[in-house]
Amino acid sequence: MRQTIHRELVVALVGAVALVQALAVQADVGRFGELVGLSCAVGLSALVAAGLGASGRGKLAPADRVTLTRAVLTCGVAAMVADAVRNDTGLESSTTLLVVLAAAALLLDAVDGPIARRTGTASPFGARFDMECDAFLILVLAVHVSRTVGWWVLLIGAARYLLILAQRLMPWLAGVVPARRWRKAVAAYTGAGLTVAASRSLPPGLAVLVVGVALVAIALSFGTQALELWPHRRPRIGRDSPAHVPVTVATSRTASTASTAATAGVGPDASPASVCAVPGIVRLGGPR
pLDDT in tens, 89-115: 666 668 889 999 999 999 998 898 899
Per-residue pLDDT band at 196 (split at 50, 70, 90): very high
pLDDT of residue 247: 42
Contacts of 249 (CB under 8 A, 6+ apart): 175, 176, 177, 178, 228, 232
Please tell me whether the overall predicted TM-score, pTM, comes out greater than 0.85 for this model. Answer: no
**Would 252 be classed as within a structural domain?**
yes
Could you give the CA distance from residue 2 to residue 249 in angstroms, rounded to a whole number? 36
Residue 240 has pLDDT above 60, yes or no: no
**Would 59 be classed as within a structural domain?**
yes
Q: For the chain, where are the alpha helices, taking DSSP H only?
A: 2-26, 31-55, 62-87, 95-119, 124-149, 154-169, 181-199, 204-229
What residue numbers bound the domain in which 81 lies?
2-279
Angle CA 129–15–98, to nearest 5:
80
Could you give the CA distance from residue 16 to residue 6 in angstroms, rounded to a whole number? 15
Mean pLDDT of the 233-257 span: 45
**Would 8 be classed as within a structural domain?**
yes
**Would 169 be classed as within a structural domain?**
yes
How do residues 3-54 score in pLDDT, each as one tens digit?
455 688 999 999 999 999 999 998 889 999 999 999 999 999 999 999 988 8
Query: Which of left, alpha, beta for 277 (phi over 0: left; psi -120 to 50: alpha)?
Result: left
Query: Which of left, alpha, beta for 212 (phi over 0: left; psi -120 to 50: alpha)?
Result: alpha
Angle CA 143–194–198, to nearest 5:
70
Residue 266: strand, helix, or coil? strand
Domain count, the chain: 1
| Exposure on the CB side of residue 285, measured as CA atoms within 13 A | 22
Query: Which percentage of the chain shows pLDDT scores above 70?
Result: 77
